[in-house]
Amino acid sequence: MFVIGEEYLLLAELAMQAGRQTEAEGNYQRAEQVWEKNFRMPEDPKHQAMATHFTGWTYQRRGDCAKAVEFYQEVLEKWPFYEKAWQCALVACDCYEKMTSDGVLSRQEVNNFIKTCYERILKNPQSCPAPILQQIRIWVEQYEKERLPSLEE
């Protein structure tokens, strides 16, 4: 069942790239509906984590950062050892950055959230690439010194 959701996600991404917003929106929603069925499968936590992760992705791609963060945080809380938990944390940070630029959150709220996410990644790095882990360590160290560079620096 999870693969069907992935197919809808792929169709949505292709439609988005081609500028067909309405078609993309419909496919994102279909993917979410398929993955909601995975949420109710307690015997399969891996697919629950994946379904929650990708549902967050669909909300993020549709511009609903607040809803996306809810799903990413659920992954981080329920399945901290999920192999893509680090990606959920990083995308949640990007969503928080977007909410800052939209005036929804303060810079301090965002920085505190980012620090929490980065610390989670450092506790459970799983498959996070070493260069990203190093950038996160540097950011956290500098954050604690009140110097806040962007992750790209």
Structure confidence by residue, pLDDT tens digits, 73-99: 999 999 988 999 999 999 999 999 999
Q: Which fold does the domain 2-144 belong to in CATH?
A: 1.25.40
Compute the Cα dihedral for 38, 40, 45, 50 and give only its sign.
positive
113-96-64 Cα angle (round to 5) = 135
pTM for this predicted structure: 0.78
Structure confidence by residue, pLDDT tens digits, 12-25: 888 888 999 899 88
Q: What is the mean pLDDT of the chain?
A: 86
Q: Cα separation of 32 and 44, whole Å?
A: 18
Question: Is residue 5 within 8 Å of 31, Cβ to Cβ?
Answer: yes
**pLDDT the model gives residue 147:** 56
Low-confidence residues in the chain, pLDDT < 70: 1-2, 38-42, 146-153
Question: Is residue 97 within 8 Å of 117, Cβ to Cβ?
Answer: no
Q: Would you kindly state where each structural domain of the chain is located, as residue ranges?
A: 2-144
Placement of tokens 């996306």 in the chain: 68
Spatial CB neighbours of 69, under 8 Å, sequence gap ≥ 6 = 56, 92, 95, 96
Cα–Cα distances (Å) from 131 to 58, 80, 127, in that order, read 27, 20, 12
